[in-house]
Structure 1
Amino acid sequence: MFLIGTIVDVVAILLGTAIGYFLPRIPDRMRETVTVGVALCVIAIGLSMALSDMNDIVLIIFSVVMGAVTGELLKIEARFERLAHRLEERFRRLYRGPIAQGFISATLLFCVGSMSIVGAVQDGLQGDHKTLFAKSVLDGFSAVVLTSTLGPGVGLAAIPVLVYQGLIALISNLFGSFLDTPLVIEPITAAGGLLIVAIGIQLAGLRRISVPNLLPAIVIAPMVKVVIHAISHM
């Protein structure tokens, strides 16, 4: 079954959220230190991804700029926040604390990355679950730490992860190996890495960045590269 990897990832996120929620109260000073530590790790992961495709640096810059313009015009962040706050109201009876921040931060962290796309493509094409199983371990541990600092809203990120990775796996299963090529994976990895760096900067409290409004860059980057490749081979 080609959705096994995604299902395991979703279970890992929910399990990590439960563990993080029921952990003993963490002192505020320790929580701040842990959060900064996690932020540094997120930044390191993002940088390693962003620097993996330096041959396309001009393309990535163009994609991020155009992605930012597109995201601002579409008001993606505002839509994201409305959804998050709607979920927050729905779960108000179960939990009185903030839910939106945990949901938004966790969704971006779990979905924006090459492992999500590559793993889902492998899942759909070959029934190979290893990449998503490895991602499940990382997401589970991240969910524990994020929940202890941002609350149980982190667990709600399992919903977009299921939809996002599940759709990629389904499309790959139906339409072949188009997504599983360097032309698509490399620019997505680099652009996604920059967005993960932005998430880390936010987690560290250094600066607020409208990361959702940068999301179109992940779509624009591979599209531009495919068009350039097609033109150069005409």
Structure 2
Amino acid sequence: MRKVQWPIGTLINMAAVVAGSLIGLGLEQLFSAEMKNILFQAVGLGVLIMGISMALKIPDSYMVVLIMSLILGGLIGQAVGLSATAEFLGNRLEAALTLGDPRFTEGLVTAFMIFCVGSLTVVGAIQEGIEGNRELLMVKAAIDGMVSIALASALGVGVLFSIVPMLLFQGGITVLATVSRQLFTEEITRLVSATGGVLIMAIGLSLLGTAEIDVINLMPALILVVVLSRVRNKLVTLLRA
């Protein structure tokens, strides 16, 4: 059995987010209400463009898989109450820490989605797990550190606490890739990244106030897209036989 590769790259990434968030929280105190509003709009537009760029990378032949993953993922998320659970836990954490930030949960979830569902996250964490190569995660840490400044300025201290799910998700991929490298094909990485892009688009639209989309309940789509893509590939193989 291979030795487990600890997620050192993720820990460095977390440190960059903490540093950027602290800077952003400091800048927040200097901004007027008008400046915060325009910053919020700028963040929303940036997030929307990021999501579109990621979502467009999905192959046309997998578009039905993506749509079905979103539909079934949303139904599952709603049935088990993912959004309500996340809001409850976020509110409990905010109350326990006596932060007095009404946007705590929104900031945490938004930052986690932006930081952790892109191709850099998946590919970088896989590379660290399989090869011990942390170059991509170092690049990601630098980018996330800069982005966290703007996010924390607009969404508050919840952005800083996004490092907790980051450790579980991104660090978990590194550890899993160490022992199960066959799970992470290029096709799966691209599909997960594209699905994440759709969810990031939804966050951008919500930040801009143009749509109210329950992104948390849609998150099971990130897992379902892997399952359905494998079902789709087996059906294609059978039909061609």
Bucket of the pairwise TM-score, normalised by the shorter protein: over 0.9
Q: Secondary structure at the match of 1:206?
A: coil
- Residue 67 (1) aligns with residue 65 (2): no
How far did residue 83 of structure 1 move? Answer: 1.0
Which ranges of structure 1 fall in alignment gaps of 5 or more residues? none
Does the CA-based 8 Å contact 2:117-2:192 persist in structure 1?
no
- Residue 139 (1) aligns with residue 136 (2): no
- Residue 210 (1) aligns with residue 214 (2): yes
How far did residue 162 of structure 1 move? Answer: 0.7
Find 2:38's aligned residue among 33, 37, 52. 33
Does the CA-based 8 Å contact 1:183-1:222 persist in structure 2?
no
Does the CA-based 8 Å contact 2:73-2:218 persist in structure 1?
yes
Q: After the TM superposition, which residues 149-188 of structure 1 pair with which residues of structure 2 at under 5 Å, given as runs?
A: 149-179=154-184, 181-188=185-192
Which ranges of structure 2 fall in alignment gaps of 5 or more residues? none
How far did residue 196 of structure 1 move? Answer: 0.5
Q: Deviations over 1:42-65 (max 9, x none)?
A: 111111111111421111111111
- Residue 48 (1) aligns with residue 53 (2): yes
Find 1:85's aligned residue among 70, 73, 91. 91
- Paired letter, 1:134: V
Does the CA-based 8 Å contact 2:72-2:221 persist in structure 1?
yes
- Paired letter, 1:214: L
Does the CA-based 8 Å contact 2:127-2:134 persist in structure 1?
yes
Q: Deviations over 1:152-176 (max 9, x none)?
A: 1211100110111111110101122
Identity of aligned residues (%): 32
What is the alpha-carbon root mean square deviation over aligned residues? 1.5
Counterpart-to-counterpart distance in 2, 1:5 and 1:212: 26
Counterpart-to-counterpart distance in 2, 1:103 and 1:85: 11
Partner of 1:225: 229
Partner of 1:21: 25
Partner of 2:126: 121
Counterpart-to-counterpart distance in 2, 1:44 and 1:164: 23
How far did residue 108 of structure 1 move? Answer: 2.2
How far did residue 21 of structure 1 move? Answer: 1.3
Q: Secondary structure at the match of 1:52?
A: coil
Q: Secondary structure at the match of 1:185?
A: helix
Counterpart-to-counterpart distance in 2, 1:12 and 1:21: 14
How far did residue 18 of structure 1 move? Answer: 0.8
Counterpart-to-counterpart distance in 1, 2:180 and 2:45: 38
Does the CA-based 8 Å contact 1:124-1:170 persist in structure 2?
yes
- Paired letter, 1:194: V
Q: How many residues align?
A: 231
